[in-house]
Structure 1
Amino acid sequence: MKKTLLLFTALLILSPLALMANGQQGESGQTVQYPKGNLDFVAPSGAGGGWDLTIRTTAKVLKDTGLVRVPMPVRNNPGAGGSVHLASLQEKKGDDKTITVYSSPLILTKLAGTTDLDYNNVTPLARLIADYAVFVVKADSPYKSINDVMDALKSNVKSVKIGGTSSAGSMDHLQFLIMAKAAGVKNLKEIDYVSFDDSGAAQVLGGHIDLFSTGLSEVQGLIQSGDLRALAQTAPHRVGEGVVAEIPTCMEAGINETFVNWRGLFGPPEMPEYAVDYWRETLGKLRLTPEWEAARKTNGWDDAYMDAPEFSEFLVQADNNFRDILNEIGMLQN
């Protein structure tokens, strides 16, 4: 009888600890079972882009490693360089299920006047990776190098039509303008830039634009197949493997500038603290797995991990830097 009573008492003492091992501490001090049910992983762009690849790869590795054991379906919510999804997130204040990916356009779309929302209207969880810009043309393009493009623009600023999947004044546009400015191209505001919500690769392959400014991982397959020819990429060093590693940097072409496109995960505004704590811990573990390292190598991503507090400070500094750049080229709106 005494043994039974002791065992029952021990179970009463240990049961809260057991619950804590499988849950998160809520604001009221009670244990919250999290995550529970389906999560909502969202790419704020169309299928096949850099955001889409990042969020799908993240969900796959989280599942493959067993770090997250609930379903993580991925959906796309494209429009206006990510601003459509950013607006929809404002209706999910306090939600703990929605996880989305963003990069520099989270800052740039507000500065360009596309939206009044930015990184202050979401909950930073972690910066994951760094990707780099690449400038590609179709295989039979007359432009054989990035300097061919810059020379053409110097002769006639309207002679080359640039395209990207971000809005004017946002990332795909800005990363090319930064390189053009460093190359000595004048009248940057007059360069023709066309924004596409769908695949810009199809637009350059179809001859609707002359050059596609994008993320390296987004067109890696078409570069490897030979359908697209990469003129240059914006890393400070060559990246990737195989054909990708053969892409010269802009610096090698004498353009003394680089451009880094970070990507990170965010929750809705006012995401509960227990959910933020869970994702900070889980994404910190993800970064150290061999599966994530393999995914980074496959996609040509550099490790650029920052935990939420450091990431939040970085976003403020990045905002200041982009303000300076956009003001210099006459595109600062907000």
Structure 2
Amino acid sequence: MKIKKVLSSFLVGSLAVSVLLTGCSSGGSKAASGTAAEAYAPKKALEMIAPAGAGGGWDLTMRAVSKTLGDTKMVSVPMPVTNKPGGGGGVALSYLQEKKGSDGTISVYSAPLLLINLTGQTPLSYNDVTPLAKLIADYEVFAVKKDSKYKTINDVMDALKKDPKSVKVGGNSAAGSLDHLAFLSVAKAAGVSVDQLKNIDFVSFQDGSAPAQLLGGHIDLISSGLGDIKGILESGDAVGLAVTSDKRVGEGTYAKVPTAKEQGIDATFVNWRGLFGPPGMPEAAVKYWSDTLKKMSDTDEWKQLCKQNGWDITYADNVEFAKFLEQTNNDYKDLLNSIGMLKK
């Protein structure tokens, strides 16, 4: 009997110790996990992807991010930028699928991430990447050669109303994507009919050569991000007819470009840009980048770069960015449907 009591006491005691140790172990794991998430930082060189050729808006944005993070010593590992042009961003989007679960690859994207899916160019969408942070708002500018017969944006619209084939428009994005859609949305607001919009010639130069094509006379007008054509505007070889912001932006040459609204066309078009990781990026890495990019957005270095490029700072963390993408995707659906370009 005594032996049974001793064994019973021993088992109860052992069970209590086991429960206590298990509880400590569980609490310790959670604490360790939280600490690991907080302490996360990239340990090796990162692959910073610009989904288009050198010199374009994505390229400029990613290089600005890499430079600022390096100059401010927020990130200590190398951050070389790799250009992966093609498919309006679709080539890079497919590449990100190969990096599923990785914390070492980051890409910049903007409106085309949504548009190339909505127009049927790729089955992949914003749901196939991991939002990290929204960073800036850029705007489209419509420019012509300095000796062009078109002196105002309304001259261009009047010509399109008479003959939609009379103005050859070009841009660095794919047909049906950002540069194309921005121009069509402004043209629609200017009174160009849907049937005429469908017949406007748009030529895509995804290698970033649209500015050179304009100066070479191969297109009549370029629709592009401000940063993409900074050189030809500052040299005076091209003249900005309109910018799609609700107010003049930037400084110097940029600030001289009038808005479409100033010229009686009630339209704006914002080209947001943000950073993304591959699908399934570890949560600790997502949190790290969301927080780090917020700190970067508050630095004087970043503010100065944005001012130089005519970008508005519009930071949103990963959670808010995800909500923004869902809403914006719905907005683009409506816009594409109204001009007959939504893939159904």
Quick check: TM above 0.5?
yes
Q: Counterpart of 1:67 in 2: which secondary structure?
A: coil
After superposing on structure 2, the runs of 4+ consecutive aligned residues of structure 1 that deviate more than 4 Å are 24-33
Q: Counterpart of 2:74 in 1: which secondary structure?
A: coil
Of the candidates 103, 125, 128, which is equivalent to residue 121 of structure 1?
A: 128
1:190 matches 2:199: yes
Of the candidates 299, 304, 323, which is equivalent to residue 289 of structure 1?
A: 299
What pairs up with 1:1-334 in 2 under 5 angstroms? 34-186=41-193, 187-198=196-207, 199-334=209-344
Give the C-alpha shift of residue 288 in structure 1. Answer: 0.7
What does the per-residue CA deviation read over 1:107-130, in whole Å, with 9 as the maximum and x for residues that have no partner?
000001100011100000000000
Distance 1:65 1:152, change over 3 A: same
Distance 1:27 1:87, change over 3 A: farther
Q: Which has the larger radius of gyration?
A: 2
**CA–CA distance in structure 2, aligned partners of residues 183 and 308 of structure 1:** 36
Check whether the contact 1:25–1:31 (CA below 8 A) recurs between aligned residues: no
**What's the C-alpha RMSD, in Å, of the aligned pairs?**
1.6
Q: Name the aligned partner's letter for residue 116 of structure 1.
A: P
What does the per-residue CA deviation read over 1:19-51, in whole Å, with 9 as the maximum and x for residues that have no partner?
xxxxx9759968875311101001000000000
**CA–CA distance in structure 2, aligned partners of residues 25 and 79 of structure 1:** 43
What does the per-residue CA deviation read over 1:252-299, in whole Å, with 9 as the maximum and x for residues that have no partner?
110001000000000000000111111011001001111111111111
Check whether the contact 1:25–1:32 (CA below 8 A) recurs between aligned residues: no
**CA–CA distance in structure 2, aligned partners of residues 43 and 228 of structure 1:** 26
Give the C-alpha shift of residue 139 in structure 1. Answer: 1.4
> TM-score w.r.t. structure 2 length?
0.88
> TM-score w.r.t. structure 1 length?
0.90
Q: Counterpart of 2:271 in 1: which secondary structure?
A: strand
Give the C-alpha shift of residue 303 in structure 1. Answer: 1.1
**CA–CA distance in structure 2, aligned partners of residues 223 and 155 of structure 1:** 28
**CA–CA distance in structure 2, aligned partners of residues 284 and 30 of structure 1:** 17
Runs of 5+ unmatched residues, structure 1 = 1-23
**CA–CA distance in structure 2, aligned partners of residues 243 and 249 of structure 1:** 13
Q: Name the aligned partner's letter for residue 199 of structure 2.
A: E
Give the C-alpha shift of residue 140 in structure 1. Answer: 1.2
**CA–CA distance in structure 2, aligned partners of residues 25 and 332 of structure 1:** 48
Runs of 5+ unmatched residues, structure 2 = 1-30
Count of residue pairs the alignment pairs up: 311
Distance 1:26 1:268, change over 3 A: farther
**Matched residue, 2:22:** none
Q: Name the aligned partner's letter for residue 188 of structure 2.
A: K
Check whether the contact 2:70–2:76 (CA below 8 A) recurs between aligned residues: yes
Query: Which has a greater percent of helix?
Result: 2
Distance 1:172 1:106, change over 3 A: same
**CA–CA distance in structure 1, aligned partners of residues 325 and 311 of structure 2:** 20
**Matched residue, 2:28:** none
Q: Name the aligned partner's letter for residue 203 of structure 2.
A: V
% identical equivalent positions: 59
Q: Name the aligned partner's letter for residue 147 of structure 1.
A: N
Give the C-alpha shift of residue 196 in structure 1. Answer: 1.0
